[in-house]
Chain A
Amino acid sequence: DVKVTQSSRYLVKRTGEKVFLECVQDMDHENMFWYRQDPGLGLRLIYFSYDVKMKEKGDIPEGYSVSREKKERFSLILESASTNQTSMYLCASSPITGRLIGNTEAFFGQGTRLTVV
Chain B
Amino acid sequence: DAKTTQPPSMDCAEGRAANLPCNHSTISGNEYVYWYRQIHSQGPQYIIHGLKNNETNEMASLIITEDRKSSTLILPHATLRDTAVYYCIVRAPGGGGFKTIFGAGTRLFVKA
B44 touches A43 (CB 8 A): yes
Given A102-B30, A102-B92, A103-B51, A40 and B43 contact (CB-CB distance below 8 Å): no
- CB neighbours (8 Å) of A35 from chain B are 102
Surface stretch bound by A, among B12-20, B58-66, B69-77, B93-101:
B93-101
Report whether B100 and A33 are in contact in the complex, using a CB–CB cutoff of 8 Å: yes
Q: Within the complex, which residue of B46, B49, B87, B100 is in contact with A45, where a contact is CB–CB below 8 Å?
A: B100
Q: Is the interface of B mostly helix, strand, loop or mixed?
A: loop
- How near does chain A come to B68, taking the closest CB pair, in angstroms? 13
Residues on the B chain within 8 Å of A4, using CB: 43
- Given A42-B87, A103-B51, A110-B43, A97 and B102 contact (CB-CB distance below 8 Å): no
Stretch at the interface among A11-19, A50-58, A79-87: A50-58
**CA of A50 to CA of B94 in the docked complex: distance in angstroms?**
12
Tell me which residues across on chain A come within 8 A of B91, comparing CB atoms: 102
> How many chain-B residues does the 8 Å CB contact rule pick out?
28
* A contacts with B: majority SS: loop
**Using Cβ atoms and an 8 Å threshold, which residues of chain A touch B93?**
97-102
**B7 lies within 8 A of chain A by Cβ:** no
Residues 30-62 of B at the A interface (beta carbon under 8 Å): 30-32, 34, 41-46, 49, 51
- A residues sitting closer than 8 Å to B (CB atoms) are 4, 30-31, 33, 35, 40-45, 48-51, 54, 56, 58-59, 90, 92, 94, 96-103, 105-111
Interface residues of B (CB under 8 A from A): 30-32, 34, 41-46, 49, 51, 87, 91-105
Between-chain CB contacts (< 8 Å), 15 pairs: A33-B100, A42-B103, A43-B100, A45-B100, A50-B97, A56-B97, A90-B43, A97-B97, A99-B95, A102-B30, A103-B51, A105-B34, A108-B43, A110-B42, A111-B41
